[in-house]
Chain A
Amino acid sequence: MLEEAQGEPRHFVFLDTTPLTHFARIGELDRLGEWLPGSYTAAYVMEHEILDWVKDYPHNRLVGEAKWLEAIPADTVVDAKLIADLSIRFPDRATKNIGELHVIALAKRFGGTAIIEDQQARKAARSDDAKVKSTYMVSMIGAAATCGLISENEAWDIQKRLEIGRERSVIRSTDRREFREMVGFMKELLPRWPPWPKCLHNNGLDQIAIAARKQELATLRDRFSLPSRRRT
């Protein structure tokens, strides 16, 4: 059973709908389980954003059957207050962010990392009320390659398949070079990193992805006095 955070953040990972359903869609859900055994999602997410949609997206059933994943409710008074506050302060189209806010509430309660994609939800996670660390799906994949859980080519293959027909990540299906540069930069930082999966508990990972997408990694490298890389 999960224990609430006291002092140092625990290394629990809370997955939102997007990584779960899209890894299932491309047949890589087991791999996600290998990377993040004993992970969690919000009961709201599992019930309303995954299993309610099995008829339209049959692969969602696999998420419900995953043994490595547990759905827990964000149902404490503190959770409810946080979800309510964030939903007012960070409104999005219709009910779009409800699942993310449940994930954020759980990550807050247990000091975990939220794997979320939505920009507005990321802002909510970073607000003073929440102060939850979150990571993009692509940053997680890049970090998995950096930590040696998967080769860089395999990681790119997954990212590309996730993005084909979706094209919502900061690094999309045609951004092979940007992905390579993101992983390259992460590898330079690896000596400073905590081990997997605690390395995901860092808002900076997404900034590497964003900088790679915007081709601003050279600037970051200068700022943090990292040796410049020679293109081969």
Chain B
Amino acid sequence: MAGEDWRVGEDAAKAFHHELDIVTTGVVDLKEVMRLAGITLVAHDFGPDGGDGRYVKKGGRALIVINTHVRSTGRVRFTIAHEIGHHRLHAVGEENATFIDEHVGGGGAKPRQEKEADAFAAYFLAPDRSLKADAERIGDITVESVVDLMIRYGLSFQATVFRLHNNQLINLVNAAKRDALRRDAKGRVEALRQQKGGYTEDDQILFGAELPKSFRENALKLFAHGVINDERLAEMLRMPLDDALHLATERGVTAPEVPDVDEDDLADLFDDGATDA
């Protein structure tokens, strides 16, 4: 049975769904949710040991910071939903609040607030009723069908399996089945995800979602002008170097070659041949 912390998270997610009038089938538009909730999303590379994300509220302004080192859209979405959970459950009425999340989702011993935020995220992204309907339609749960569900709800594989198991919505998904699924899926999930067309959201759009367009344009312009180098461009765009260069190339922006003043050419200005009008 789900515990009290799970019920708290689920109830908060249900209430938020109702408040936002969200249609609870399919992928939740997190960018729109954050906009409606008045939360700003930013991305920062905290490195491989930097955890999944942070929720920061200061002076009444709320900020979610995701770690760009995490390159799984599903996991990033779960982290964002988890931080929205903190916003709804633990920061209401607070002027300042901070939650640093090293590992969202999954099981294990956690503080109550983290379990509640996990429950909020799980339900918010994949509500019971919708999951149940999908599970009945699918029938036997296999690695392939879990990948279908993770794409459908924008969850990671782990979170989807956890969600199916933890809600006891499907008899087949007991602990043994859950572990078997995880074993079968090892090394196959990413290939399957790509084979099935991937998430409907583009990773880059999600990671760069809250960088104002003018900021991105100006960063590219600075790069084009040679004011900043490629590493600084990547830093400003909050993305890995290769992605930043790829984006710049796609936009037709390359670092300019502004040559040095050429002495021979310069002398041409004062050459007799040029001044014999």
Contacts and interface: CB of A to CB of B under 8 A. Distances in A.
Interface stretch (B61-69, B200-208, B263-271): B263-271
A204 B224 contact: no
Top 7 closest pairs, chain A to chain B, by CB: A204-B269, A194-B277, A203-B265, A204-B268, A203-B268, A207-B266, A167-B224
B258 A170 contact: yes
Interface of B: 221, 224-225, 252-253, 256-262, 264-271, 274-277
A210 B259 contact: yes
Contacts of A193: 274-275, 277
A43 B269 CA distance: 31
Given A204-B271, A210-B258, 16 more contacts: A119-B259, A167-B224, A172-B224, A192-B270, A192-B274, A192-B275, A198-B277, A203-B268, A204-B267, A204-B269, A207-B262, A207-B268, A207-B269, A211-B261, A220-B266, A224-B269
B266 A213 contact: no
Q: Is the interface of B mostly helix, strand, loop or mixed?
A: loop
Contacts of B262: 203, 207, 210
Nearest to B262: A207
Contacts of A201: 274
Interface of A: 119, 126, 133, 166-168, 170, 172, 174, 189, 192-195, 198-199, 201-208, 210-211, 213-214, 216, 220, 224
Contact of A204 (B256, B259, B260, B274): B274
A214 B257 CA distance: 12
A172 to B, nearest CB: 6
A18 B276 CA distance: 30
Given A203-B268, A204-B267, A216 B224 contact: no
A202 B264 CA distance: 11
A167 B265 contact: no
A133 B274 CA distance: 11
Contact of B268 (A133, A214, A216): A133
18 contacts: A119-B259, A133-B268, A167-B224, A168-B256, A170-B258, A172-B256, A192-B269, A194-B277, A202-B269, A202-B271, A203-B265, A204-B266, A204-B270, A204-B271, A204-B274, A207-B269, A208-B269, A210-B259
